C-alpha cells in the first residue's frame, strides 16, 4: 500500500473567501472517491490549529499500489479537479511512502 499525503495553503483575500476556497477544494477531492481505481481511502482535513507555520488543508489518501497512485495522477477525474482548483492553491507539499 502507498500512502499519499499532500498539504496546501489556500488563496483568500478575506477569511470568507479563504473559507469558501477551502470548502471548494474539500468538495472537489471528496467527489473523486468512487471514481479512482485503486484508491482505498481519501480524507481531507482543514487545519484547526491556526499556527503560523501550518498548512491550510491536508489530503490523506491510500492506494493499493505505486501503479495505482501513478494512474491516479493521470486519471481524467483527478486532472479535472486540478484544473478546477487552479489558482486556489498557493503552496503545495507532498509525501508518498510505502506502508508495511
pLDDT at 75 exceeding the cut of 90: yes
State the pTM of this model. 0.91
Q: Is residue 97 within a helix (H) or strand (E), and if so which, with residue range? A: strand 89-98
pLDDT 10s digits, 15-62: 999 999 999 999 999 999 899 999 999 999 999 998 999 999 999 999
Q: What is the CATH number of the domain that holds 29?
A: 3.30.70.100
Task: Provide the domain limits for residue 85.
Answer: 2-98
Please state the domain count of the chain. Answer: 1
How are beta strands 2-10 and 89-98 bridged, if at all? antiparallel
Above 90 in pLDDT, residue 81? yes
Q: What is the mean pLDDT of the chain?
A: 95
Predicted local confidence at residue 47, as pLDDT: 95
Amino acid at each position: 500500500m502507498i500512502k499519499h499525503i499532500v498539504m496546501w495553503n489556500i488563496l483568500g483575500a478575506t477569511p470568507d473567501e479563504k473559507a469558501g476556497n477551502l470548502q471548494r477544494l474539500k468538495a472537489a477531492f471528496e467527489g473523486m472517491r468512487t471514481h479512482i481505481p485503486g484508491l482505498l481511502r481519501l480524507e481531507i482535513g482543514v487545519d484547526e490549529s491556526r499556527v503560523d507555520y501550518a498548512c491550510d488543508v491536508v489530503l490523506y489518501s491510500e492506494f493499493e499500489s505505486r501503479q495505482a497512485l501513478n494512474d491516479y495522477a493521470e486519471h481524467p477525474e483527478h486532472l479535472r479537479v486540478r484544473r478546477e482548483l487552479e489558482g486556489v492553491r498557493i503552496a503545495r507539499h507532498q509525501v508518498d511512502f510505502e506502508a508495511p
